Amino acid sequence: MNFVDEARLRVVAGDGGDGCAAFLREAYRPKGGPSGGDGGNGGSVYAIADEGENTLLDLRSKRAVKAERGEDGRGKHQHGKKGSDVYLRVPIGTIFVDDETGETVADVTQHAQIALLAAGGFGGRGNARFATATHQAPRRADPGTPGVQREVRLELRLLADAGLVGLPNAGKSSLLARVSAARPKIADYPFTTLAPVLGVVRWANEKTFVLADIPGLIEGAHEGHGLGDRFLRHVERTAVLVHLLDASACTAQQAAEDFDTVQHEIHAYGEDLDERPLLVIASKMDLPSAVEQLPELRRFMGERGHEVHAISAATGEGCRELMRAVGHLVDQRRARAALLREAQQPPGSNA
């Protein structure tokens, strides 16, 4: 499995170079004077979001990333060279968390967005900086300051507009393959996807949204059971949740209880996931057993306040209508988010 959505790394910025204490005597300056240059600033460590990256696999094997130290100052007023910066290319949606404090250091959500992870130290001042009319031969030079060092935890949270959730083998991968160009693994035996898969859905002319197949959840997932909460984080940024129920292999009552199980895990995980718009889908309507259970399933879900949409990923029945419904909800959430961002802008801002 090449999809890696978590890594740990030590980021070390470069120390600033030391200032120099030196004196220069030249033919045209018989009394000489202080000539110590400043030390160079240390290099910093940055993260840069790259749409060409889709996993943290390359960073998983790294233990530390170090930026270059600034050069020391020299005589003849020569300042030290600044240390080179280091840029970590990461997938869009990566969050950097300080492992010690739990503070979010950076969150890159747009292509080419750059975020500072560790600032380099400042170069020390050379003795030429301290010369005054009353103190013409200073011997003082400052040392460079140390660069920032921290242990960070990288978490990749996919940027999807809508997420498919449900128990393993509910038909999420089949639906994603039907409505997009994504090709997740599909099989006729019970298994669960081991990595989230993204697909772009075109639901109207020039209108699209990103749909994510979230690996199947089981009871206790928010506590780390099964695949655990590793993949619940991938629905944190979604605007709409699409919950698939498979009534073909169980009774309608059992399917409704499966719904309760997954919703409990989503609620227990937090992050206001249970407040997102939710569409409930009865899948595999090409199977007679699923069709037979549909009326009873709608009754059970109606008691829970949810309407049930019926689809078949195998035949395409109801899939186009479902994607239109999801697309309208995504558009509404986008418009609401845009209004919220506009309201938060300070007066006179052009951002």
The CATH number for 86's domain is 2.70.210.12
Q: What is the pLDDT of residue 229?
A: 54
Residues 30 and 146 in one domain: yes
Domain shared by 264 and 305, yes or no: yes
Distance CA 283, CA 309 (A): 9
Q: At what angle do helices 252-269 and 288-303 cross, to 10 degrees?
A: 50
pLDDT at 187: 53
CA dihedral of residues 262, 264, 268, 272 (deg, nearest 10): 80
**Same domain assignment for residues 128 and 235:** no
At which of 126, 156, 186 does a domain end?
A: 156
Element containing residue 265 per DSSP (H, E): helix 252-269
Q: What is the CA radius of gyration of the chain?
A: 29
Q: Look up the domain containing 18 and give its range.
A: 6-156
Confidence (pLDDT) at 349:
56
pLDDT of residue 312: 93
Residues 220, 73 within the same domain: no
Q: Number of structural domains, the chain?
A: 2
Cα distance between residue 188 and residue 61, in whole Å: 35
Residue 217 lies inside a defined structural domain of this protein: yes
pLDDT of res. 279: 94
Please identify every stretch of the chain with a pLDDT value under 70, giving residue numbers as ranges: 1-4, 184-195, 216-231, 270-271, 345-351
Residue 350 included in any domain: no
Q: Which amino acid, 14?
A: G
Strands (E), the chain: 6-12, 23-26, 29-34, 45-49, 64-66, 86-90, 94-98, 104-108, 114-118, 149-156, 162-165, 197-204, 207-213, 240-246, 278-283, 308-310
pLDDT tens, 318-330? Answer: 999 999 999 999 9
Cβ contacts of 154 within 8 Å, gap of 6 or more: 6, 7, 8, 9, 56, 59, 90, 94, 95, 96, 97
Last residue of a domain, one of 104, 136, 156: 156
Q: How high is the pLDDT of residue 24?
A: 86
